[in-house]
Amino acid sequence: MPLPIYTAMKQIATEKNIPMEVMTEMIEAALAAAYRKDFGSKNQNIRVKFNPETGESHVFDVKTVVLDELLEMKEDKEKKEKIKPKDVGARFIEPKEKVEKAPIRRLEPTGEGDEKEKKRFNPKTDIVLEEAKKIKKGAKVGDEIKQELEVPTSYGRMAAQTAKQVIIQRLREAERESLYKEFKEKEGNVIIGTVQRRERRVIFIDLGRITAILPPEEQILRERYRSGQRLKFFVTSVKFTTKDPEVIVSRSHPEIVRRIFSLEIPEIASDTVEIKSVAREAGSRSKVAVFSHEENIDPIGSCVGQRGIRIQSIISELGGEKIDIIEYDKDPVKFIANALLPAKISRVEINKKEKVAKVEVKEDQMSLAIGRGGQNVRLAARLTGWKINIVGETDEVIKEAKIEEIEVPKEEAKKTEKKSAEREKGEKKEEKEEVVDVEKEKEKKSEKTVKKKSGKR
């Protein structure tokens, strides 16, 4: 039967999502700190080996074997530091002129000397080779010498009191690190969360183990957030802080459209259909350019689904936002024309160097091409990456059309004049007949009213 401490460690590990090895390391560090505080000495490097299954713990003083020269260098340095100030002042100082004229010598550093200077002897963590050989025969430079220390009877009770705070602190740190790693991996992905509460303009989202922040700039303007409402959010950033990690989520980011499309449409998830670009004005309208890698698959049809089931589910996820699915084309002229749908385009002229496109449309298509408040052309420019200028058809084309209308043969002109005159005569006759009929009806009505009045008398 496992010990209570082992079951408690396992329970905490599963709840806090911390590996069992990390839990053991935390307890070992806490026990070492407790021993060092009450029973350890200054030059001891205390380490504890703890077995959670048996509950046994062993205390060691661990030191690394170093060269004897490091100890000698340390002793020489200590002697130099102990020189009195009067001895330093008695040194001979050369005059300024000689010092200035003296040649400057540049000392090139050698690898061995630098390493020795950098590495200093530390009595807490290091042991000289000679002393190490006395403890362990055949000891070499770089080996670790472990000396087991005696554990007093009062260690258990006092260690528990000291280790309690250390373990709690280490648990918080470990939990914070595990949370950070978990959500850092989800950065740039869509996650489902529940609206928790609202503080002024900031919305707090419950993600299970952590509470995320939905700032005002990442919210959709016309969207209302009710407590308990489950929505999909895009994780924009995860920052490590002194408390819990700070997770920023978004509802207005353009990438949320791409991620929801990949979740709802299997062809996009399997990379058969690719989303080339997304342009979005959150809460109003989005344009998505799609491309099929297989000829037999229609990219727009696969996104729309049977009777529009797929696209309707995406629209409901985005709060009723309008979505235009556009077929991507390698030819920029066709791609720009597709991006400006539902407007019908007459002609597209492109300047590849400046990446500017001049689009000509008819007068009746001008409003459709531009869109309400310039939305359609603005989204098309973001989608294609081209600067788009919408222009109406030129005056020359209109003038040519008028000239063709004037140059009509004389015979046809006479025929049309006769027909129009006959139509006018017929219309006048009909008007006269209608007037006569109206006058007759009025006379009949007046006679009826007179008869009624006479009968009453």
Better-scored residue on pLDDT, 14 or 97:
14
Strand 273-281 to 211-214 pairing? unpaired
Paired residues of 128 in beta bridges: 66
pLDDT of residue 28: 84
Residues 147-155 have a mean pLDDT of 77
Tell me which of 2.40.50.140, 3.90.226.10, 3.40.1210.10, 2.40.37.10 is the CATH number of domain 186-250: 2.40.50.140
Kindly report the average pLDDT of the chain as a whole number.
Answer: 76
pLDDT of residue 353: 85
- What is the reported pTM? 0.58
pLDDT of residue 390: 87
Q: What is the DSSP string of 138-197?
A: T--TT-EEEEE----TTHHHHHHHHHHHHHHHHHHHHHHHHHHHHHHHTTTSEEEEEEEE
8 A C-beta contact, residue 256 and residue 243: no
Kindly tell me if the per-residue pLDDT of 411 is higher than 70. Answer: no
The model's pLDDT over 25-62, given as tens digits with 9 standing for 90+, comes to 888 888 888 888 777 777 788 888 888 888 788 888 88
The model's pLDDT over 1-14, given as tens digits with 9 standing for 90+, comes to 677 878 888 888 88
The model's pLDDT over 159-194, given as tens digits with 9 standing for 90+, comes to 677 777 777 887 888 888 888 888 888 888 899 999
pLDDT of residue 418: 53
In this structure, the number of other CB atoms found within 10 A of the CB of residue 59 comes to: 21
Kindly tell me if the per-residue pLDDT of 70 is higher than 80. Answer: no
DSSP 3-state assignment of 302? helix
CATH of domain 331-416: 3.30.300.20
pLDDT of residue 289: 92
262-328, superfamily in CATH?
K homology (KH) domain (3.30.300.20)
8 A C-beta contact, residue 145 and residue 135: yes
pLDDT of residue 373: 86
pLDDT of residue 194: 92
The model's pLDDT over 279-334, given as tens digits with 9 standing for 90+, comes to 988 888 899 999 988 888 888 888 888 888 899 988 888 888 888 898 898 888 88
1-85+116-184, superfamily in CATH?
NusA, N-terminal domain (3.30.1480.10)
Kindly tell me if the per-residue pLDDT of 114 is higher than 70. Answer: no
Better-scored residue on pLDDT, 335 or 398:
335
pLDDT of residue 399: 30
φ, ψ at 355 (rounded to 5°): 55, 50
Q: How far is residue 179's CA from residue 450's CA, in Å, rounded to a whole number?
A: 100
Query: Hey, what are 212's tokens?
Result: 């995320």
Q: How far is residue 12's CA from residue 23's CA, in Å, rounded to a whole number?
A: 9
- The domain locations on the chain are 1-85+116-184, 186-250, 262-328, 331-416
Kindly tell me if the per-residue pLDDT of 238 is higher than 70. Answer: yes
Confidence of residue 361 (pLDDT cuts 50, 70, 90): confident
Q: Round the CA-based radius of gyration of the chain to a whole number and report it.
A: 44
pLDDT of residue 233: 92
pLDDT of residue 332: 87
Kindly tell me if the per-residue pLDDT of 110 is higher than 70. Answer: no
In this structure, the number of other CB atoms found within 10 A of the CB of residue 350 comes to: 17
Sort 383 into a burial class: Cβ within 10 Å, 0-12 / 13-18 / 19+.
buried
Strand residue runs (E) in 334-411: 347-351, 356-361, 387-392
Q: What is the DSSP string of 400-424?
A: HHHHHHH---HHHHHHHHHHHHHHH
CA distances from 172 to 18, 177, 376 (A): 11, 9, 51
Kindly tell me if the per-residue pLDDT of 433 is higher than 60. Answer: no
Kindly tell me if the per-residue pLDDT of 97 is higher than 80. Answer: no
Q: Are 1-85+116-184 and 262-328 the same fold in CATH?
A: no
Q: How far is residue 385's CA from residue 104's CA, in Å, rounded to a whole number?
A: 61
